[in-house]
Amino acid sequence: MEVEPDFYIDAADSKNLIKFVNHSCDPNTEICKRKKGKAETVVLEALRPIKRGEELTFKYCLRGNFMPLGERIRCVCGAENCRGWL
């Protein structure tokens, strides 16, 4: 996952809980980078109130080394405003 240019998080890392957050074209969270002293961390920040039991989602940004030019992945998020592709 690209947080910003040249700053990536490997969601496949077994200790990284972001692997359980799915894509949506109408997400309820966004990825934010925070700095406390010299330490930097990445957090999910709610974009709106989230109901108990509601799935956490964010908008995947697939580009750079992870997506070869011209390759697209079909989106199945089900949002009313779904773009159809990641």
Query: What pTM does this model have?
Result: 0.73
- pLDDT (0 to 100) of residue 24: 94
- Split at pLDDT 50, 70, 90, the class of 49 is very high
What class does CATH assign to 2-66? Answer: mainly beta
| 7 Cβ neighbours under 8 A, 6+ residues apart | 33
* pLDDT at residue 20 in the model: 84
67 pLDDT above the threshold of 70: no
Residue spans per domain, the chain: 2-66
Q: Give tens-digit pLDDT for 21-36.
A: 889 999 999 988 888 8
Does residue 37 carry a pLDDT above 70?
yes
The tokens of 53 are what? 């039991």
